[in-house]
């Protein structure tokens, strides 16, 4: 069975939110319409933002092979984490929050 993920994040103002998400995820993959943008994070695994009612409240965590490198790339694009957490099993999570209160985390195993 093939498995694909297309995770959505509602934002209040697409044109204001887009630059923040470009700093977070980098260059977008495609734009379905004027108030939606998609980033393919890995084959068959995408996240998108779209302008819509009831923005905020999304909580997504993306596990990556090299958390430090990912955070460094995001920092190079001008965005710093809101929080950092380390769990008792050594897993680390770095959290970013947009202006609407959506939470995007990046996690990785302890190194």
Contacts of 6 (CB under 8 A, 6+ apart): 46, 47, 48
Bridge-based pairing state of the strands 103-108 and 92-97: antiparallel
Sketch the domain layout of the chain as residue ranges: 5-108
pLDDT digits over 32-79, tens only? 999 999 999 999 999 999 999 999 999 999 999 999 999 999 999 999
For residue 14, the model assigns a pLDDT of 97
Q: 5-108 has which CATH code?
A: 3.10.180.10
Q: How confident is the model at residue 111 (pLDDT cuts 50, 70, 90)?
A: low
> pTM of the prediction?
0.91
92-97 vs 83-86, strand pairing mode: antiparallel
- As a whole number of angstroms, the distance between CA 55 and CA 37 comes to 15
């Amino acid at each position: 069975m093939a498995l694909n993920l297309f995770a959505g994040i509602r934002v209040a103002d697409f044109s204001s939110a887009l630059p923040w998400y470009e700093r977070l995820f980098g260059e977008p993959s495609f734009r379905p319409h004027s108030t939606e943008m998609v980033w393919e994070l890995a084959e068959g695994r995408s996240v998108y933002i779209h302008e819509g009612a009831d923005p905020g409240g999304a909580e997504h965590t993306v596990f990556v092979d090299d958390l430090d490198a990912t955070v460094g790339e995001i920092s190079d694009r001008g965005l710093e984490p809101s929080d950092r957490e380390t769990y008792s099993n050594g897993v680390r999570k770095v959290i970013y929050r947009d202006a609407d209160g959506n939470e995007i985390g990046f996690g990785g195993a302890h190194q």
